[in-house]
Structures are given as C-alpha cells and as structure tokens.
Structure 1
C-alpha cells in the first residue's frame, strides 16, 4: 500500500483534475473530455479515484454487464461472460508510478466485485502499440489472456484478459 493514498468514490469536484491525468496517458487509454467523465460518474458501478493529499494521483473506471457503452472491448466481454467488472481504464500519474497505487485500485475493485457477487474482473491491454509495462502488471495481478482483437480500424491490437476472483 502506498502511504497516505486514499481510494474513494469519485466526486464531482474531482472530474476536472481527471481530464489531464487521463489524457496524459494516451495512447494507453483513449482521450476523454469532462463530459465523458460526467457520463461515467452517472453510468458505472465503479469509479474510484486515488488521492494523495489534495491531488488525484490515479483513477479506475469499471463497468458490469448491461451498460449502454459502445466499446468493442467491453462488448467482447459482454458477449462471452455473464458476470464481470470490466476495467475500462486505470490511470496512475507518472510521478506516482511504482508506488503500489495501481495494485491498490485493483484490490479495491476486487473487494467491490466480491461484495457484489461478481466472479471475475476483465480488462484489455494494448499489444499494438505495445504497453509491455501494463501487460506485466496485469499478469502479476493474476490476469490471463483470453483473446485478442484489433480495434480502431486496425490501428490497435489488444490482449483481452480476465482474472477469476475465486482463484485468488
């Protein structure tokens, strides 16, 4: 655990700070606007922020099945699995990386999933353009590849991954 970091539900006052945090992580995640974060805040069951002092140093957004969300990666999992929380994005401020914040966010998500009776977590990691750091991170957390797919008219390839919660 990273000392002094609080993982809590996102608040309206956090949204403005999350836009540059998120967009600094492109191409690992897609760029978003404040309106996108407002929609997520109203739509998803899991939207948490990691705060150190007064600063947002990380965030995670996850969706369960049945959400009106037009993402080919989300839809891939929705077609194949009944129960899951799909991590649409996890972002940690580069200055705070390797401090355990990403692992804390995933631990919080896993606890929320277990509390809600959700059996697995799902995510994708870019293979093209390569995000080797993220792939290694997710594998260390117990995720395993279950498929690949090309997105964005073939400009990206992703590794689709799950983590069964009863295995951990």
Structure 2
C-alpha cells in the first residue's frame, strides 16, 4: 500500500514517544513534556502511515527558533536561514521500505518554498554508514562535525541547498498562490496561502 504523510494528531503523541524511545542510540530520547512542546510549537511535525499504521515521524524547525539543541545552534552560528530536521524516526519493521524517502520528499517540498537550505545531522558513533549513504544519495553534504556536549556524541553536520527557493522567493515574494497544498502545516496564516511571519521565541 502507499505511504501517507500527514500532520500528527494529538492522540498519537504516546505512540510517537514510544517510537522515538525505541529507535536506538541514533536518536536522542524524549520525555512526554518535551514531545508535547514540539507538538505545540514545531513548524513541521508529521507522521507517515503505511497499511493503516504509524510508520514513523519527522519534526522540523525553522532557523528562527530558539531551540536548545547544540547541533541546531551550530548551524545557526554559521548559516542565516535554513530548515532544520530535528529528528526523523522510522519504525524498525518499516526501514528500507521508502518511508524515509517519503518523509524527506515531503519535508523538502515544504521547506524549499520558504528556506534556502535543509540542515540535519547524523551521529557518527557506532557506525552509521547507512544513514550517511541515505543522506548523501538525497543530496546532503557534510559541512563540518560537532561534538554534542549534552549527549557526548560526535555528529556529521549535513546541508542540502534547495534550488527552487530563489525562484519561488523572486517570483512570489511573501505571498504564495492560493492553493491548499502550499499552506503551512499546523501554523495559522493571516490569509489562506499567505506566508505568515515566522514565530520567534516559541519553538522547542
């Protein structure tokens, strides 16, 4: 069956939390309060369904956020404007089935209308060549490395330029066409299809 990517629903947060904390050392653990904070304020928080069950989730933040991740701060100290993939988790039984690529295609479709670059990191401890290969095949390139003091783990810092962004910004400025698929997920806009000012100081 096809993969469906959609906004997370509040009643699914317990399932998201369990999925995150079962993902292993490549994903930092969450508690319920922090996940709720993501739900309340993250710019992008979507889940994937396959065969009617949750197959994974992705949380993304704009560079305007006051996010306490040292990896996020590393990017913001070096790049003025980007969309940051804080975490992507795919259920173990669904890995290798296209869920990750569906997420990245959806996140890029959202981000390239609003940001010039995608940013994320891959932990290097314990051997993570499959994740590095996945990101490399999707157009990400390493721009540095960073040791997370809060987790004592080294990460490869990856970025991908979004080639459509300059054309979209030059053509439409701050107002996108009035199409449902262009609306911001989970973020209210002053008029349908209008790019709302990015919130500040409210992100996790």
| Unpaired segments ≥5 residues, structure 2 | 165-204
Structure 2 residue aligned with 1:50: 48
Q: Superposed, which structure 2 residues align to 1:7-18 within 5 Å?
A: 7-18=5-16
| Structure that is richer in strand per residue | 1
The more displaced of 13-22 and 144-153 is 144-153
Structure 1 residue aligned with 2:17: 19
Q: How many residues align?
A: 165
Structure 2 residue aligned with 1:137: 134
Q: Give RMSD over aligned pairs.
A: 1.7
Pair 1:123-2:84 in alignment: no
Instruction: State the TM-score, normalizing by the size of structure 1.
Output: 0.92
Instruction: State the TM-score, normalizing by the size of structure 2.
Output: 0.76
| Unpaired segments ≥5 residues, structure 1 | none
Shift of residue 68 of structure 1?
A: 2.0
Structure 2 residue aligned with 1:151: 148
Report Cα offsets for 1:94-151 as digits up to 9, x if no partner.
1001111100000000000123x21110000011233221111101100000000111
For residues 124 and 64 of structure 2, the distance between their equivalents in structure 1, rounded to whole angstroms, comes to 27
- In the superposition, relative to structure 1, how do residues 154 and 22 fare at CA in structure 2: closer, same or farther (>3 Å)? closer
Task: Tell which structure's C-alpha radius of gyration is larger.
Answer: 2
Structure 1 residue aligned with 2:26: 28
1:73 is aligned, of 59, 71, 74, to 71
Contact between 1:85 and 1:120, CA under 8 Å: does it hold in 2? yes
For residues 75 and 38 of structure 1, the distance between their equivalents in structure 2, rounded to whole angstroms, comes to 21
Contact between 1:44 and 1:62, CA under 8 Å: does it hold in 2? yes
